[in-house]
A and B are shown apart, each in its own frame.
Chain A
Amino acid sequence: MLDLYTPGSSFLHRLPPAPKMLAMMLGATLLFINQSLPVTIAATLVIFALYPVAQLTLKQAFAQIRPLLIIFVLFFVVQWYFSGLELAAYVVLRLAALILLASLVTLTTRSSDMIDTMTHGLSYLKPIGVNPEKVSLAISLALRFIPVLAQITREVREAQKTRGLERSVIAVAMPMAIRAIKMADDISDAIDSRGYRS
């Protein structure tokens, strides 16, 4: 969701976020209710097939699950050992299908549209004290600053590496925390400066 959105004009791109998000929730629920390996295989293949429909490549599809391959292997081995090959394949495929499905939605939906939809959905919770705008801003800020914090982590690690301290948790965590707090102050001022009414 950080920078996943890929501009396009496919049917899935043009579909409003709400039905896509609802379909994703429904699909995820069905994947978990379903206990059959053949159905899970079929569902995974269908989701894969939706990538070209959305003008996305299969390479992009694989890129979504590649970071989790180690976890998949770990799950597979543990499940195989305790419950057998079929259940192991079922568990891993179900997880992969779920990630592919969620990624398909984020690849074809702008984060702003998704956040607007969530904000609209949350507006029904106003009577019980939920402030949809605040929730929406919090999600946007999280999306925006995760890569910035990752960059800060890299910079601090590199700086500490030159001093032979890259393995020291405190040597990395302390400068990061200080920079993050300073950054939070500046961001708060920037939001104020741009007319945000809390």
Chain B
Amino acid sequence: MIKLHDVSVSFGERTVLNSLSLDLTERRIAIIGANGSGKSTFARLLNGLALPTSGEVLVHGLNTRKKGRDVRRKVGFVFQNPDNQIVMPVVEEDLAFGMKNLGFSKDDIATKTDEVLARYNMSDLREHPAHLLSGGQKQLLAISGVLVMAPDIVVMDEPTTLLDLRNKRRIARAVAALDQMVITVTHDLDLITDYDRVIAIDEGRIFADGTPPDVIPAYEKLMS
């Protein structure tokens, strides 16, 4: 569970998020909003990549300000551009990176690498250079790199923005099959129709919060 208590974020004079208080408990939560609405900053608050200017964010009771490293172990983060998330030159090396940082044994690293590559039909790409993967494969690798670290929660910042329709659907299926709680920041309304909860952010405040049938039409009206 993630709890935001009276959270505000400002960059200089500009207030990006304004006094948000929320409990995030549902299995699938989407954050939607226009460009510059503060939704990416919101996502980054959830694993301590960004810290609130005031208020606090608690993940399973851990304050992101004081326990950032522990929080990041529980909350995996998938970035919009997988090219900026894949840090090792070869697929299996990148998968091993997070696990090595968490102190996994060599056997565990090998087992988990096998599992995740098989799960996404990427076993033949094990020794493939990361920069030669397709866009969809890169995003799957980025997601896999997070999943092998066994987080309780996965936050995704616009995971389908750079992808074509086929790869968007591939990622949507991959996300749907995850056991973890998933919080997705997105512009892609098709991706979130079966989510449990949608939170629409506008100018740093919550504009609407509820189920997809309640929030998406209101959001579309706002955007028009």
Does A147 belong to the interface (CB within 8 Å)?
Answer: yes
Does B116 belong to the interface (CB within 8 Å)?
Answer: no
Does A195 belong to the interface (CB within 8 Å)?
Answer: yes
A 157-198 to B, binary, CB cutoff 8 A, 1 in contact else 0? 000000000000000000000000001001101111111110
Cβ-closest chain A residue relative to B99: A195
Does A134 belong to the interface (CB within 8 Å)?
Answer: no
Cβ–Cβ < 8 Å partners of B81 in chain A:
186
CB within 8 Å of B: which A6-28 residues: 7
Query: Which of B30-38, B89-97, B199-207 has 4 or more CB atoms under 8 Å from chain A?
Result: B89-97
Q: How far is the CB of B9 from chain A (nearest CB, A)?
A: 15
Give the size range of A's interface with the partner: 20 to 34
A143 to B87: give the CA distance in the assembly, Å: 9
A148-B83 in contact (CB<8A): yes
Give the size range of B's interface with the partner: 20 to 34
- With A111-B93, A195-B72, A195-B149: A187-B131 Cβ-Cβ less than 8 Å: no
Cβ–Cβ < 8 Å partners of A7 in chain B:
127
CB within 8 Å of A: which B64-79 residues: 69, 72-73, 76-77, 79
Chain A contact residues, majority secondary structure = helix
A197-B101 in contact (CB<8A): yes
Cβ–Cβ < 8 Å partners of B49 in chain A:
189, 192-193
Cβ–Cβ < 8 Å partners of A2 in chain B:
89, 129, 131
Does A3 belong to the interface (CB within 8 Å)?
Answer: yes
B89-A144 in contact (CB<8A): yes
Residue in contact with B87 in the complex, picked from A111, A147, A190, CB distance below 8 Å: A190
Does A83 belong to the interface (CB within 8 Å)?
Answer: no
Residue in contact with A144 in the complex, picked from B44, B88, B92, CB distance below 8 Å: B88
Q: How far is the CB of B5 from chain A (nearest CB, A)?
A: 23
B76-A193 in contact (CB<8A): yes
Cβ–Cβ < 8 Å partners of B135 in chain A:
none
Q: How far is the CB of B128 from chain A (nearest CB, A)?
A: 9
| Residues of B in contact with A (beta carbons under 8 Å apart) | 44, 47, 49, 69, 72-73, 76-77, 79, 81, 83-90, 92-93, 96-98, 101-102, 127, 129-132, 145-146, 149
